[in-house]
Amino acid sequence: MRRNNQHIKTPGGFTLLEILLVVAAIAILAGIVIVAINPGKQLADTRNAQRRVDVGTILDAVYQYVIDNSGKLPDTVASPIPVGVCSGALAASEICKTAPCAAGVVDISALILAEKYLTAFPKDPNQTVPACNANGVCYRISKSVNGRITVCAPGAEQGAVISVTR
């Protein structure tokens, strides 16, 4: 028999209140981590990094073409194109994706012939850039009156300016 001052042991467990407190603490910590990581900003930074690489790749290919052709640019870049092509809606300076090129884009397809300089033109990583021509790659090229070439990415995000001039 048991005495009056002894208690019967019951199996251990958590109360509903304890479980709710742990779930609330985990939710708060998860919220803080998501805000700190900011996936939208991280993705935009990644796309901008790809744009920087693409702009440099296109400009390198243009200059390799120039070296191989005794200082001559592809014929379609021979006349000066307005400078500042990334700040305005000058679709005439957008690079054509594949030949035949539509009106309003720059045909520098000589760079991808026989895959000598590029296998294909890189395309902006954000496929929904509204200012892109249907047959364009969303990157623009211009030539100053002094012969300097600029390749830029008008679809840059977060206020970034991605442009390379040589």
The domains of the chain are located at 37-165
User: Percent of the chain at pLDDT above 70?
Assistant: 80
**Tally of residues, the chain:** 166
Written as one letter, the residue type at 45 is D
- Reported as a pLDDT band with limits 50, 70 and 90, residue 103 is confident
Predicted local confidence at residue 91, as pLDDT: 44
Q: What is the pLDDT of residues 61-77, one digit of tens each?
A: 999 998 998 888 877 76
Give the list of residues 6+ apart from residue 14 with CB closer than 8 angstroms, or none: none
- Residue 158, token pair as written in the block: 């977060």
Check: CB of residue 16 under 8 Å from CB of residue 24: no
Q: Give the mean model confidence (pLDDT) for residues 93-120.
A: 84
- Torsional class of 147: left (φ above 0), alpha (ψ -120 to 50), beta (otherwise): left
Q: Smallest Cα–Cα separation from 48: which of 166, 142, 129, 150?
A: 129
The sign one gets for the Cα dihedral 130, 131, 134, 140 is negative
SS3 label, residue 46: helix
Indicate the pTM of the whole model. Answer: 0.75
**Confidence check: pLDDT of 86 > 50:** yes
